[in-house]
A and B are shown apart, each in its own frame.
Chain A
Amino acid sequence: MTSMKRRIFLKGSLATGALGIAASTGLIIPRTSLAAWAKEAFEAKDVNSAVSSMFGSSDLTASDKIKIKAPDIAENGAVVPVSVSTDMSNVESITIVTEKNQNPLTASFALGATAIPDISTRIKMGKTSSVIAIVKSGGKLYSTGKEVKVTIGGCGG
């Protein structure tokens, strides 16, 4: 019942909110300035083809400058908190790849000039897998991985 009420409330407030949002031009971003969603990379079935489709190269250099914060054991594969940070400079993007997922490419973050390379999100994992973080810096790809054990999978069912 509470969710129903909230839904109605959302509908009403969205309609009025839309005008306000449109007025604040900062939020209206021309679509052309953004890269199109990398369909092929996200639909790739293995890490290599996902990475090469995304970056045009699957040449990854292992780096200990990238830190992945994720649980050693995830009780619920549907919600696995993952943080990736690095102290490298000139970081262009941070990409998260879950090796054993049906589609390994999970997320890619393009960093603007002022962004700090430290991203946190939550991902779904089908089964125990290595979570790989790829950092693009100065045109080169660096990566590190962390094994996360999953007790209950979070994909399909």
Chain B
Amino acid sequence: MSSIKLRASAKDGVTTVKSLISHPMETGTRKDSKTGEKIPAHFIQEVVCTHNGNTVLTASWGAAISKNPYLSFSFKGGAAGDKVGLSWVDNKGEKDADETEIK
């Protein structure tokens, strides 16, 4: 259990990865409705996806990715039992990582 929900499934030699990350993705332009003060920017800047330790996809994100980001992609190869990993780093240096097995 982490901030990342990760699913990977292989079919006909192609692995499809679907992920959901729990993150506020604050743009830095929104104002607090009570205090009127700006809510500081807090968003994921980089997401790295791996297959058996090899990087498959590196995503650079701006603040315009929706709250609780969704990311889906696919890659060639991959078999049931292979490891698929996903890690993220945000603009405050917070990070998380998760790993799953291809089904």
Contact = CB atoms under 8 A, between A and B. Distances in A.
Sorting the interface of chain B by its residue count into under 10, 10 to 19, 20 to 34 or 35 or more gives 35 or more
B71 interface: yes
Most chain B beta carbons < 10 A, residue from A13, A26, A37, A156: A26
Interface string B36-63: 0000000001101011111111111111
Given A24-B83, A37-B45, A115-B73, A103 B57 contact: no
Contacts of B63: 42, 103, 124
Contacts, number: 148
A80 B66 contact: yes
A interface, over-half SS = mixed
A34 B48 contact: yes
B64 A155 contact: yes
A38 B27 contact: no
A109 B58 contact: yes
A124 B50 contact: no
Contacts of B14: 116
Interface in A108-136: 108-112, 114-116, 118-125
Nearest to B61: A107
A17 interface: yes
Given A26-B99, A29-B48, A108-B59, A120 B71 contact: yes
Interface of B: 1-3, 14, 25, 27, 29-31, 45-46, 48, 50-67, 69-77, 83, 85, 87, 96-99
Given A26-B99, A34-B46, A115-B75, 15 more contacts: A17-B2, A21-B97, A106-B62, A107-B61, A107-B62, A109-B59, A110-B58, A112-B57, A115-B74, A120-B73, A121-B70, A155-B64, A156-B27, A156-B29, A156-B30
